[in-house]
Structure 1
Amino acid sequence: MGKLVFTLFFILQSLVISYSDTFDDEATVSIEDFPEYAVPRHCAEFCAESVREKRLVGTPGKSRVIDAMLNTPTLHLNPEAPDILSILRDKYELPKGFQGPLAEYDFIIVGAGSAGSVLASRLSEGKQASVLLLEAGKPESLFTNVPVLAPFFQQTEYVWQYLMEPQDGVCIGMEGGRCFWPRGKAVGGSSVINYMIYTRGLPADWDGIAANGNYGWSYQEVLPYYMKSERAYLKGLKDSPWHGRDGELAVEDIPFRSKLSKAFLDAGKLLGHRRVDYNSPDYFGFSYIQATMARGRRCSTANAFLHPHKKRKNLHILHSTRATKVLIDPVTKRAYGVEFHRNGQVYQVGAKKEVLLSAGPIESPHLLMLSGIGPKQHLESLGIPVIQDLSVGKTLYDHISFPALAFTVNTSRLTIVEKREASIQNVIQYDHYGDGPMSSIAGVETIGYIKTNESEELGDLPDIELLGACASLASDEGSIVAKGIHLAGWLYNDVYKPIEGVESFNILFMLLHPKSKGYLKLKSKNPFEHPKMYGNYLTHPKDVATMIAAIRYIIKLVDTPSFQKYGATLHTKKFPNCRQYEFGSYGYWECAVRTVTSTLHHQIATCKMGPHTDPGAVVDPELRVYGVNNLRVVDSSVIPRTIVAHTNAPAIMIGEKAADMIRRTWGMI
C-alpha cells in the first residue's frame, strides 16, 4: 500500500502541473501548411558564455523535504543524480509537425515569466496570430510545485544569479559583502520560485500612476484585468465583488496554518488593526495570505496560462533559448525581429507585427541597451551603435526587508522545523489532501499593513508590510533559507546556530516606499555578462528610520498576550559586527539592517512608463518604446513608482492589459 501511495504521489504531482481539463491542440491553426523555417548559423561571438553562466549557480543546500520525496523505491529515483530537478520536468516541445522555429511570426515575445506567459496565451487565442515565445530558463519540475520548497530554488538553475554591485554600508553580513538578487529563470519566470503572495497594489498606487500622465492605468481601469486572470477560492470571500472566479490563475488560502498565524491576527487586533481583504479597496489591516496556489500546489503562470495551450499550432515555446538582440532597422527605427542562441547555434527570426520584451526588470533593460536603445553616452562608451537615446535603467526601485529577527517560544510544535516536517507521513498527507507543512510557503502565513510614525503621508497609507511566519533562519539549520539569501557563515554560526534546537519564528517586513533610488547599466556588450546593478539601498536616512520603526513595532506586536502565552521571546544575541552598540538602540538596529539587507525581488521602473513629457520614461502608457516602432516592454520593469504589492500579480495584470492593447492595435478584438 505504501509503495502504491508513493507512486500515485509522483504521478499526481506531474499531472497537477496543469489546472485545466482541456488542451486546445487542434483549436488554432494560423500557420501555413508548408512553413519556412529559420536557418541557424554557427556562433561567431560570445559562444562559450552560456556555459560560463552555469558555473555561476551555487550548490543548493541539502533539503530533507526533497530527500523524503525521493525516498521511494517504486520509482527508483536516484537522489545523487546530477540533475534531480529534471524529475518529471514539464515539456514544451514544438507542436506536432514542426521541426524548428519558423523564419517569421506575427509576434515574438522574449521571456515566459509572469507577464510573458499571459501575453503569449492571450495573443495566440483564436486563429488570428502566430506567436514565438522565447525563454532562457527551463520548464518546471515536480519539485517546483511544492510550496515549502520555495527558498530551495534560490540556489538552483531556476534563478538568474544576479549580484548587486558592492555598496558600502549594506549587505555586510552577506557572502562577499554583496546583495544577492535572484530572479526567476524558468518557463513561468519568478512565479516558479517566488513565495506565491498575491497582492495587487492599493487604489492610491494606481490612481497616482494614472495622475502622472499614464492614461488607462487608474485602479478602476486595471482592476478588471486583475479579476480576468483570477480564479479565487478564498474562505469568507465567495461573494466578494473584488475577486474573479473564472480566470486561469488560482488564488487560494494556504492550507497549512500554525497557531502563530492566529496569534499574529489577534495581536494585530489588540493594537487596533482590523481583519480585511487586503486585495479590496478596504485594504488597511491584517489578514491571512492569499496565495497563487491550487489545492496546496503552486500555480505558476506557466501552469495557468501556458501548459494547457502548449499544443496550439500557432504558439511555439522555445525554452533554454537566450535572446541576445532585438533586430531594429536603424533608418526606419522599426523592430523587425530577434536574434537568439539555442543549442549552440544562432537564429534570427522575424516579427511581422511586434517584438514584445517580457524578460523582467533586469533582462528587459539589458536587452534594450544591447540593441542600441538606452543612454547615448553609456552605449557609445561600449561601442554599441545608438538607435534611440532613452533613460533605460536609470531608475530602479526595490522592496527590501530585514529577515533576521528571531523569536523563540517555549511551546512545542508551534513552528515549522525542517528535520521534523520532512517525513514520509507529511509527504503522504500532502499527496492525499494537498495540505500539511509541505503546503506552507516556507512558513510565511499572514500579512499586515501598518503606518509607522516615520510616515509623512496623509490618510491610511501604509509604509510597511508585515509578514508573519512560523519559521526563522534557524528552522532548517541554515541549510536552505540562510543559504538562499547568501547569509554569511560567520553571521549564521554566531547568531542563529545556538537556537537550532529551539523552536523559533520570525516576523519580517517590507519597506513599501523606499526613497533610495538605484540604477543599472551594461557591464559590457557581451550579452551573456550580467549588467551592473546598483541598488543604492539605505542611502536616504528616512529608509533607515522607517525600517527601525518597523522592527520596534514587531517587537511591540510580539509583546502582546497573543504571543506571550507561547513564551515568545526576542533572540537577543548581538550581531558580532554590531557589538559596540547597546542591543535595541537606534545605532544597533541601524547596524543590523545594514548587515542583513535583503531584497524581496521586486525591482521595478528600469523601463519606466510615462508620458512623453517625462524625461525618464522609456515606454508610453501603451507600453510602446519611445522612438522605436513595433517594440513594447510588457513586464514589471514598466511600473514607474513603488506600489504596495509583491510584483507577481501586477506583472500578470500588465500582461493581460497589454494583450488587449496589442490586439486592439492590430484589429484582433
Structure 2
Amino acid sequence: MQHLLQIFILYLFILKIFGDNVDENFPQYPETKQLYETYDFIIVGGGSAGCALANRLSEIENWNVLLIEAGGEENKRLMDIPGLALQNQHTYFDWCYMSEPFEEAGLSLINQSICVPRGKVLGGTSVLNHMVYHRGAPADYDRWENVFGNPGWSFDNVETYFKKLEDVAIDSPSLPDYFGKNGPLHVECAEYRSKLYPAYMAAAHEAGIKSELLLGPNQIGVECAWKTTKNGYRFSSNRAYLVPIRRRNLHLKLNSQVTKILFKGNVAIGVEFVCANQTYTIYSKKEVILSAGAINSPQLLMLSGIGPKQHLAELKIPLLKDLPVGQNLMDHVAILGLQFEINESPNVVEDKDMQLKEFLYNQTGPLSSYPAETIVFSHLSNGIPQYEDDFVTSTYEQQNHELYHFSSETWAEAFLPNNQSKGAFYIYPVLFKPKSRGSILLRDNNPFSHPRIFLNYLTHPDDISYLVMGIREILRISEQPSLQAFGTTLYKNKLRACKQYEFNSDDYWICQIRHLSTSLFHQSGTCKMGPKDNLDAVVDAELRVHGIEGLRVIDASIMPEILAGHINGPVIMIAEKGADIIKQFWANRKVG
C-alpha cells in the first residue's frame, strides 16, 4: 500500500540523513528467553490494560506473572511521532480489522465497511491512537454502579485509580488535589500551537461556550486537547508501565497469539498460544486474565467455549458456559467532511521538510502534536456531555483515503483538495453516548480468522439527531468573528450520494452523516460488567467471568456503558483497579 511505502521511506530518511542526531529508541522490557511451564497469573494482551496489570501484579514479589502479546516491540522513531499517528494504521502493528457492511452508516466507504484499527504491538492501541486523554464524566461511573449494579465502580471509588495512574502536567489552584502528579502515565497539553488555536478558543467563547478544564468535574466547555505525550513523543502504556521496570518475576512473550483458554471443569488452568508456527501450552496456578481488548477478548472467550450457545453450536465449538459474549458493542461515532477554507496557512512552519527537521532535532513543531488542538464538550444531560467537537488544524491528506476506506473517487467528491493555495482546517463531531449497539461474532472456529464486527452505527434515530445538533454547533462556532477574521468558509463538497438535498439543510447533513461516518476507535462493552442475574452481563463487579473460576476480563470490553470521553485513560484505570481487586482477593484467600 502506498502509505506503507511512505512510512518506510521516511524511516530510512530519518536514519540516513540524521543518524546520531536522532534520539535513541527507549530501552525495551526484555523478552523472556526461557518460559516456565506454570505461572501464578497469565495476562493475555499487552495493550493499555495488559501493560498496567503486568506492572501492578508483579509488584508482589512471590507472584510469577507472564504477559503474552501477539505483536512485537514498540519503536519510538517509527511509531511514536504524534503528527504521524494516522499513518500507524494499516501497518504490521495493526490488526487491520474491518466492520461487516451495513445499511445505516459508512455508506460511501468501500463495501460500506469501516476500518477498525487495533494495536498489535506492545502498548496495544495506545501506540495507534490519537493520544487524547480524558477520564470521562463522574456521572458515567455513578451509572456503572447505580444503574448497572456494579458496587465499587462509582466515581468516588475509581477516582483514586485515576490519580494513581496520572502524571498530569497542570497547575490548577482551584482543584489542588484533583489530579495525579506522580503516576506512570504523563498527560499534557502539547506546547505547539498553530495560528488558529487562539481563534478556535475565542470563537467558542463568542458562541457562548466557556473555557473549562474538561479533565475536571465540570464537563461542558472548550479547552486544549490533553494528550499522552512527553518530550515531543507519544507516551504509550508500554512506555508508562513496562519500560521503567525490570523484574525477575515478570516474563514477557512477544509475537505470540493465544488461541485457546484451557479449562479443567469450569476452572481456567492455562492457555495455548502460537509463536513462529509452533504451539505452546502454559498453565496458571491462580488466574488467566484477558486484556486483549473489546474485539479480541470476546473472540478468545468464544473460541474457548464461553459465549452465546446457538452461535457456538453453529460453529461446532463445545459449550462451556452460555453467556452474551460479544454483545453490547459500543463505539464513539465521528463524522468526516466538515472542512473550512481560510485565507492563509495555519502553520507557523509551512514547509514539510522543515517541519520534519524541526521535530527530529528538537522534538517540537507541528509533528510534536497530533493536529487536534481544541476540544468542545457539549449538551449536558444528567451530568454527562452528549457529544464532542474536535478542531483539527490540517486538511484531509489525499493519500489517507485508504485509511478511512474511501475510494479515490469518493474522496475527490467529498473532501477539499489538499493542494489548494490557501489554508484549511476541519472539525469533526463525535457522538459520545450512542444508543445503537453492535456485536462481535466469530467468522469460524479458526483462531486466526478475523472476527465479524457488526458496528451497527446510527441504527437508533436519536444518534442521528445528536450528530445534526453537533454539526449545527460547529457551524455556529465557525461563523464567529475570531474565525471569520481568517476568512473562514465552509467547503461545499460534491458528494454525489447527497446531491438531491439542499446543501446545509438538515436532510443534507443527515445524508452526509450516514455516508461519511467512521470510528473514533473506542470499541467497548462486549464483555459487559453486571450482576449474575443480569442476562446481558459477562463479568461481575470483580471482573470475574460468570460461572467460571480463575478467569477475569480486564479491558474496555467490561464497560457496561461507553464513557463520555476518549477511553484510553479509563481503560488503564480499569486495569489499576482490577489489579487491586486481584491482590485483595488473594490476600483474603490466604487469610482464609
Q: Structure 1 426/58 Cα, relative in aligned 2: closer, same or farther at 3 Å? A: closer
SS in 2 for 1:462: strand
SS in 2 for 1:508: strand
SS in 1 for 2:196: helix
- 1:370 has 2:303 as partner: yes
Letter in 1 for 2:316: G
Cα offset for 1:496?
2.8
Cα offset for 1:345?
0.5
Match of 1:119 among 24, 38, 53: 53
- 1:585 has 2:505 as partner: yes
Range moving further from structure 2, 251-260 or 146-155 = 251-260
Please show how residues 535-546 of structure 1 align to structure 2 within 5 Å: 535-546=455-466
Letter in 2 for 1:422: K
- Structure 2 residue aligned with 1:242: 178
Please show how residues 382-421 of structure 1 align to structure 2 within 5 Å: 382-411=315-344, 413-415=345-347, 420-421=350-351
- 1:101 has 2:45 as partner: no
Q: Distance in 1 between matches of 2:136 and 2:391?
A: 19
Q: Structure 1 237/403 Cα, relative in aligned 2: closer, same or farther at 3 Å? A: farther
Please show how residues 82-93 of structure 1 align to structure 2 within 5 Å: 91-93=28-30
Please show how residues 149-548 of structure 1 align to structure 2 within 5 Å: 149-211=84-146, 212-234=148-170, 236=172, 240-309=176-245, 311-329=246-264, 331=265, 333-411=266-344, 413-415=345-347, 420-423=350-353, 425-441=354-370, 443-451=371-379, 457-458=381-382, 461-473=384-396, 476=397, 478-480=398-400, 482-496=401-415, 498-501=417-420, 502-548=422-468
Cα offset for 1:259?
2.5
- Structure 1 residue aligned with 2:6: 62
Q: Distance in 1 between matches of 2:251 and 2:278?
A: 18
Q: Distance in 2 between matches of 1:164 and 1:315?
A: 35
Could you tell me which runs of 5 or more consecutive residues in structure 2 were left unpaired when the two chains were aligned.
none
Q: Distance in 2 between matches of 1:259 and 1:641?
A: 38
Q: Distance in 1 between matches of 2:5 and 2:137?
A: 37
Q: Distance in 2 between matches of 1:192 and 1:326?
A: 26
SS in 1 for 2:244: helix
Q: Distance in 2 between matches of 1:497 and 1:531?
A: 35
Cα offset for 1:483?
2.8
Does the CA-based 8 Å contact 1:406-1:504 persist in structure 2?
Answer: yes
Please show how residues 604-623 of structure 1 align to structure 2 within 5 Å: 604-623=524-543
Q: Distance in 2 between matches of 1:229 and 1:498?
A: 42
SS in 2 for 1:191: helix
Q: Structure 1 345/65 Cα, relative in aligned 2: closer, same or farther at 3 Å? A: closer
Does the CA-based 8 Å contact 2:2-2:399 persist in structure 1?
Answer: no
Q: Distance in 2 between matches of 1:344 and 1:636?
A: 29
Percent pairwise identity: 38
Does the CA-based 8 Å contact 2:337-2:414 persist in structure 1?
Answer: no
Letter in 2 for 1:439: S
SS in 1 for 2:133: coil
Does the CA-based 8 Å contact 1:609-1:617 persist in structure 2?
Answer: yes
Cα offset for 1:610?
0.4
Cα offset for 1:102?
1.2
RMSD over aligned CA atoms reads 2.2
Q: Distance in 2 between matches of 1:489 and 1:350?
A: 50
Cα offset for 1:422?
2.9
Q: Structure 1 183/237 Cα, relative in aligned 2: closer, same or farther at 3 Å? A: farther
Cα offset for 1:493?
2.0
Does the CA-based 8 Å contact 2:395-2:416 persist in structure 1?
Answer: no
- Residues 188-240 of structure 1 show CA distances to partners (whole Å, capped at 9, x for unaligned) of 00001111100111011000111021001000110110110111113556963
- TM-score by length of structure 2 reads 0.94
Q: Distance in 1 between matches of 2:532 and 2:427?
A: 42
Q: Distance in 1 between matches of 2:339 and 2:413?
A: 14
Q: Structure 1 556/248 Cα, relative in aligned 2: closer, same or farther at 3 Å? A: same
Q: Distance in 2 between matches of 1:289 and 1:436?
A: 16
Does the CA-based 8 Å contact 1:90-1:139 persist in structure 2?
Answer: no
Q: Distance in 1 between matches of 2:221 and 2:418?
A: 32
Does the CA-based 8 Å contact 1:327-1:337 persist in structure 2?
Answer: yes
Q: Structure 1 400/371 Cα, relative in aligned 2: closer, same or farther at 3 Å? A: same
Q: Distance in 2 between matches of 1:240 and 1:432?
A: 36
Q: Distance in 2 between matches of 1:281 and 1:169?
A: 35
Number of equivalent positions: 584
Cα offset for 1:495?
3.5
- Residues 316-367 of structure 1 show CA distances to partners (whole Å, capped at 9, x for unaligned) of 11111100001011x3x00000100011110010000100000000000000
Match of 2:17 among 65, 68, 72: 72
- Structure 2 residue aligned with 1:601: 521
Cα offset for 1:60?
2.5
Q: Structure 1 106/509 Cα, relative in aligned 2: closer, same or farther at 3 Å? A: same
Could you tell me which runs of 5 or more consecutive residues in structure 1 were left unpaired when the two chains were aligned.
1-56, 78-86
